[in-house]
Amino acid sequence: MSGRRPAADARLTVDWTACEGRGVCAELLPEVLTTDPWGYPLPAGPGPDGTPRPWPRRDGLPVAPASVADARRAVRMCPRLALRLEEDARRRA
Amino acid sequence: MTLLPPAPAPTGALLLLPTPAPRLADHVARLGPVPLPAADAVLDVVRAGGLRGRGGAWRSTAAKMDAVRARAARARAARPGRAPLVAANAAEGEPASGKDAALATASPHLVLDGLQLAARAVGAEHAVVHGHPGPALDALAAAAAERAPHDPVPVRLVAVPRAYVAGQETAVARAAEGGPALPRPRPRDGAPAEVAGAPALVLNVETLARLALTVRGLPAPGPLVTVSAPDLPPRALELRPGARVRDALAAADADLPGRTRAVLVGGYAGTWLTADAALDRELSPEGLAPVGASPGAGVLLAATTGTCVLATTAAVVRYLADSSARQCGPCWRGLPHLAGLVEELAAGRGGPEGLARLREAVGLVVGRGACAHPDGAASTVASALAAVPDDVAAHLAGRCAEVRP
Ligand code: SF4
Ligand code: SF4
């Protein structure tokens, strides 16, 4: 995918059956992801009452336009090809 | 769990749990042959009847049929000859549920009528019955053999080992392909499961039985539930329409409502409610939504006087952790971690710090699996903490007010 495509409303999903928790994604995308105690990706930033931010299972994790290029890179670099970025230009209109 | 004999009638004639289970000739004499109208007519009736999935999700059956039809049209355009599959889902992995087994044993022909109607609605050319070996699957197999000469769509049996997640829709699809009955990821929640490139319509056996009654123009039966308590093994009951949680408990045991402290509503992956919050709620998604619960697959687990809600929760979460299909890291690592922390709390160890770690562990599993299994465990734990704050406080002080006064 071209990195020059206009940044749109993008959402990150993980194939949890494939992910092995090496944490490459969190290193490449620190503004969006951190890791849990086992190394699996977790939404960055504090959630309610200091608990982890829940992962939005239904729609995927929103990625801000400024982070979309990094997110595309994380998708390419994931050693297990477990990440998917859904970019939907229509949602912007 | 053990399969249940159909429970005695609480009121009037039972549509879903008749005794004895009718053979094909009695079934047809009682209800008439199943009408098989055109696909659109089936869909219209389903839509008008507001039929929803009774496997626990309560999704609109018409919406599910629409999605399968749309996907099937696309699959056919890409590869002609690919017809969708329909599946009757009799896999009831939930240990506290027995209503599907009771229904399939008592009304196998009603279920198979529904299966033919569902096949008609989406243009399926083959059907499977998916379930665990046992009396319910035996009843469905015998009924399917008995009616094979009349059924337009052939029915195949898929027996899978008993497991908590074996009834997930994608697990049903995988087993139909000859694979293991384990969930697999799908692009988006709500997209139909697929079997060999064609969409699959997977419907719970109770949903199918209700479909067969709706198309015949018969009144919708009341809720079908399974009630259990520490001293009461799971019992399947057909209730009158509009029944409340109290009615369900009383139908299982007349003095159960009076000695119930809290109810786990919806099953192991459910919501704890205090008796005050639960008893007078109608047993429907609308009736339970205001208190943050859903009937799920119609499971009610009562915690009676002298039962520790937190200890019950610990046992439930340990069971769910052991039931992880071990495909997704946050599920198979996160659930045992969560179970351990609930056990600590229930044992009166851990203190406030343990409770904080427990709340964190709940957040760690939410939304992070190929199926909703981890979310169910999170819901049960979070709702227990919210429903019995006094019990939690007592346990933080190292004692259980209920069991060890
Ligand atoms: S890089 Fe891929 S395999 Fe590694 S933690 Fe992230 S999603 Fe999982
Ligand atoms: S979330 Fe758990 S139960 Fe569901 S597929 Fe993944 S490992 Fe299996």
Confirm whether B24 is domain-assigned. Answer: yes
* CATH number where B176 lies: 3.40.50.11540
Q: What local confidence, expressed as pLDDT, does residue B188 receive? A: 62
Q: What pLDDT sits at residue B80?
A: 76
Residues of B in contact with A17 (CB under 8 A): 184-185, 327-328, 370
**Which of B324, B366, B375 should be mutated for ligand 2, with most atoms under 8 A from CB?**
B324
Residue A31 touches partner B, C-beta closer than 8 Å: no
Q: Measured between CB atoms, does B184 come within 8 Å of chain A?
A: yes
Chain A CB contacts of B360 under 8 Å are: 50-52
Q: Which of B304, B322, B350 is at the close of a domain? A: B304
Rounded to the nearest whole angstrom, what is the distance from the C-alpha of residue A21 to the centroid of ligand 1? 5
Contacts of A40 in chain B (CB under 8 A): 329-330, 333, 368
Confidence band, pLDDT 50/70/90 cuts, at residue A8? low
Number of domains in chain B: 3
The amino acid occupying position B377 is A
Residue B237 lies in a domain: yes
Same domain? B231 vs B163? no
Half-sphere exposure of B180 (CA within 13 A, CB side): 7
Choosing from B249, B280, B304, the residue where a domain stops is: B304
Q: Are residues B127 and B187 in the same domain?
A: yes
User: Which of B188, B370, B375 is opposite residue A16, by nearest beta carbon?
Assistant: B370
Q: What is the reported pLDDT for A93?
A: 36
- Clarify whether residues B339 and B365 are in a common domain: yes
Same domain, B241 and B359: no
Measure in Å the smallest separation between the Cα of A36 and chain B Cα atoms.
7
Domain that holds residue B165: 19-215
The answer to whether B172 faces chain A, any CB pair under 8 Å, is no
Q: Which of B215, B249, B273 delimits the end of a domain?
A: B215
CA of B327, closest atom in ligand 2:
7
Burial B37-48 (b: 16+ CB within 10 A, else e): eebeebbebbee
Q: Are residues B262 and B364 in the same domain?
A: no
Ligand 1 geometric centre to CA of B330 (Å): 12
Q: What is the residue-level pLDDT of chain B in tens, covering all 405 positions?
A: 333 344 333 344 578 888 787 899 999 999 998 999 999 999 999 999 999 999 998 999 999 999 999 999 988 888 777 889 999 999 998 889 999 999 999 999 999 999 999 999 999 999 999 999 999 999 999 999 999 999 999 999 999 999 888 998 999 999 999 999 988 876 566 678 888 888 999 999 999 999 999 999 999 999 999 999 999 999 999 999 999 999 999 999 999 999 999 999 999 999 999 999 999 999 999 999 999 999 999 999 999 999 999 999 999 999 999 988 889 999 999 999 999 999 999 999 989 999 999 999 999 999 999 888 899 999 999 999 999 999 999 999 888 877 743
Give, for ligand 1, the residue of A36, A40, A55, A81 to mutate: max count of ligand atoms closer than 8 Å to Cβ.
A40
The pLDDT score that the predictor gives to residue B187 is 59
On whether both B269 and B210 belong to a single domain, the answer is: no
Q: Does residue B149 sit in the same domain as residue B274?
A: no
| pLDDT given for residue A59 in this prediction | 84
**Both B89 and B104 in a single domain?**
yes
Residues B141 and B276 placed together within one structural domain of the fold: no
Q: Which ligand is nearest to the CA of A18?
A: 1
Q: How confident is the model at residue A89 (pLDDT cuts 50, 70, 90)?
A: low
CATH number at residue B381: 1.20.1440.230
Q: Please tell me the predicted confidence (pLDDT) of residue B189.
A: 60
Q: Are residues B241 and B193 both part of a single domain?
A: no
Binary contact (A53, B367; C-beta < 8 A): no
Kindly state whether residue B10 falls inside one of the protein's structural domains: no
All residues of chain B having their beta carbon less than 8 Å from the beta carbon of residue A38 are 329-330, 333-334
- Please report, for the domain that includes residue B300, its CATH number: 3.10.20.600
pLDDT on residue B400? 82
Q: If you take atom 4 of ligand 2, which residue's CA is the nearest one?
A: B371
Residue B7 lies in a domain: no
Query: What's the DSSP call for residue A58?
Result: T
Tell me if B133 is assigned to some domain. Answer: yes
Contact A56 B367 (CB under 8 A): yes
Predicted complex ipTM exceeds 0.90? no
Does some domain include residue B238?
yes
CA dist list (Å): B131 to B128, B139, B166, B171, B199: 10, 11, 9, 11, 20
Domains of chain A: 10-92 (3.30.70.20)
- B202 and B240 share one domain: no
Q: Is residue B336 part of a domain?
A: yes
Q: B368 and A40: CB-CB below 8 Å?
A: yes
Q: Which atom of ligand 1 is nearest to the CA of A74?
A: 1
Residues B209 and B245 in one domain: no
The model's confidence at residue A92, banded by pLDDT at 50, 70 and 90, is: very low
Tell whether B179 lies on the interface with A, counting CB pairs under 8 A. no
Instruction: Give me the pLDDT at residue B372, please.
Output: 86
Mean residue pLDDT across chain A: 86
User: What's residue B81's pLDDT?
Assistant: 73
Q: What pLDDT shows up at residue A2?
A: 43
